[in-house]
Amino acid sequence: MSKDIALDDLNAVIRQHSEWLANQLHAQRENLFPPNAQKAIRKFTSGEAAALLGVNDSYLRKLHLDGKGPSPELTPGNRRLYSAQDIQDLRVLLEKTARKPGDYLPGRRDGDHMQIIGVMNFKGGSGKTTTAAHLAQRLALTGYRVLAIDLDPQASLTALHGVQPEFDLVDGGTLYDAIRYDDPDPISSIIRPTYFPNLDLIPGNLELMEFEHDTPRALAQGNAGLFFFRVKEALAQVDGDYDVVVIDCPPQLGFLTMSALSAATGVLVTIHPEMLDVMSMSQFLRMTADLMDVIAESGADMSHDWMRYLLTRYEPQDAPQNRIVAFLRTMYGDSVLNSTMLKSTAISDAGLTKQTLYEVERSAFTRSTYDRAIESLNAVNDEIAQLIQETWGRHDNQ
Ligand SMILES: Nc1ncnc2c1ncn2[C@@H]1O[C@H](COP(=O)(O)OP(=O)(O)OP(=O)(O)O)[C@@H](O)[C@H]1O
Ligand SMILES: [Mg+2]
C-alpha cells in the first residue's frame, strides 16, 4: 500500500486507513454475505424442539402422527425437523390444553410489568454483547416476546442479527431517533423484526454517539428534561408488545448507559474473572453508584427488581480465575449467578461468522465442545428467566 502520506498529516493518514479498512471489510462481506441475502435461522431436530418446549420427543411424534399442529420437514431418513415458527405454533397449541397457564407461553400476564434488562460493565470485552444476544434469542425461543436493543455505537449486536450498521442504517434507524431531544420519532418506527419469531431488534450504529454529544448541550440549555428517562419513556410506547427488553450497553458509563440503567428493571453486570477486570469493576461500581445518587436526588425512582453478576469466558481449570470466582462469590453471595458462561471456542468461532451458538449447526463443532458450551449458555439464560418469573411473583414456574 502507498506510503505517500506524510506522517505529520495524521488526519489524512487516519482517513486513508479508515477507507482502506472499510473497502476491504465491504469486499469481504460481499463475499461472505451478499447484500440481499437474508439471514435465516436453521431448523431444529425433534429432540431440540422437544427440549425447547419442555415435552418428550415421543409426545411431539404423537402430535405429528395425529396430524396436530404444524407439519415438520421430514429428512430422507424420516427424521423430523422443526422451524422456529413451528415451535412457536406448537407452543400456542400446547398452551390451550396446558395444566397450568404459562406452561408453554411463559410471558407476562395481567398486572406483570415489562422486564427491561440492561447488560453492562464499562470494561470492554467482558462479554456483554455475547450475553445479550444469547439471552434475547433463548428467551424468544422459549416463548417470551423479546425486544433486543443495541445501545452500543460499535453495533456488534446489530451485526450479529444480520443488519449491517454502515449500510443498512444510512438514514438513521437506531434508538437515537427515538430519544433525541429535537423531534424524536415514535419508537415503533425503528423496531424491526428479526429472523427469529418473537424477537425484534432496534439496531445501533455510530449515530448513537450523538446522544452523548447532545445531552450536555441540552442540559446547559435547560431543555434536556429528565435526560436519563429518555430510554424509559421511549420504551413505554411499546409496553404492551413485549415481555422482556434486553439492552446491550456500550463499554462506557456515558449518558446512553445511564439512560439504560434508569430504564432497567434488572441489571446484569458481566465479569470476566481476571484481576485487571475485577479491579476496573470496583471503579465501575463506585461511579455507577455516584451517578445513581445524583439521579435519585432529582426525585427519580431508581429502584430495580434485581441486579446480578455473571461470570463470563470462565475457565474452570484455571486456578487464578477460580480464586477470583471464589472471592467474588464470598463477597457478593447470591448476587453472583450460580451458572457461568464458560469460555468456549464454539462461542468465539460462531461469533466470527456473526452467529450465536443458537444459530450454528451442532455438526459444525466437536459434539462435546458444542454441548458443553450450549449447556452453559442455557443454564445462564434459564437462571435469568427464573429471576424474571420471580419478579412476576411466580416461583418454580408456577
Ligand atoms: N464464552 C465465551 N467463550 C469464548 N469467547 C467468547 C465468550 N464470550 C465472548 N467471547 C468473545 O470475546 C469477545 C468479546 O465478547 P463481547 O463482544 O461479547 O464483549 P463485550 O463486552 O460486548 O465487548 P465491548 O465492550 O467491546 O462491547 C468476542 O470476540 C466474543 O466472541
Ligand atoms: Mg459489546
In the chain, list all ranges with CATH 3.40.50.300: 115-391
Residue 81's DSSP bridge partners are 45, 73
Atom 11 of ligand 1, nearest CA residue: 348
H or E element that contains 149:
strand 146-150
SS3 at position 380: helix
User: Ligand 1 within 6 A of 125 CB?
Assistant: yes
Q: Which of these, 290, 222, 279, lies nearest to 253 by C-alpha position?
A: 290
Class of domain 44-95: mainly alpha
User: Most distant CA pair in the chain: distance in Å?
Assistant: 76
H or E element that contains 177:
helix 176-179
Ligand number, closest to the Cα atom of 343? 1
* Predicted model pTM: 0.92
Percentage of the chain exceeding pLDDT 90: 67
CA distance 195 to 356: 13
User: Ligand 1 within 6 A of 137 CB?
Assistant: no
Q: pLDDT for 199-240, tens place per residue?
A: 999 999 999 999 999 998 888 887 667 788 999 999 999 999
Output the nine-digit C-alpha cell for 316: 474452570
CATH code assigned to 115-391: 3.40.50.300
CA distance 336 to 355: 27
> What pLDDT was estimated at residue 32?
66
Q: Which of these, 215, 200, 337, lies nearest to 267 by C-alpha position?
A: 337
User: Ligand 1 within 6 A of 194 CB?
Assistant: no
Best mutation site among 130, 206, 253 for ligand 1 pocket (most ligand atoms within 8 Å of CB): 130
For residue 121, give the ligand 1 atom closest to its CA.
21
User: Ligand 1 within 6 A of 316 CB?
Assistant: no
- Residue reference for cell 409426545: 59
Question: What confidence tier does 352 reach under pLDDT thresholds 50, 70, 90?
Answer: confident
Label residues 207-244 b or e (16+ Cβ within 10 Å = b): bbebbeebbeebeeeeebeebbbbbbbbbeebeeebbb
Q: pLDDT for 15-73, tens place per residue?
A: 888 888 878 877 776 776 665 566 788 999 999 999 999 999 999 999 999 999 899 99
Output the nine-digit C-alpha cell for 146: 423479546
> What pLDDT was estimated at residue 129?
98
In the chain, list all ranges with CATH 1.10.1660.10: 44-95
Distance 269 CA to ligand 2 centre (A): 12
For residue 257, the one-letter residue type is T
DSSP code, position 207: G
User: Ligand 1 within 6 A of 134 CB?
Assistant: no
Q: pLDDT for 144-197, tens place per residue?
A: 999 999 999 999 999 999 898 887 888 899 999 999 999 999 999 999 999 999
CB 206 within 8 A of CB 153: yes
Ligand number, closest to the Cα atom of 344? 1
> What pLDDT was estimated at residue 396?
66
User: Ligand 1 within 6 A of 378 CB?
Assistant: no
Q: How far is CA 310 from CA 54, 337, 383, 391, in A?
A: 25, 6, 11, 18
Q: pLDDT for 247-278, tens place per residue?
A: 999 998 899 999 999 999 999 999 999 988 88
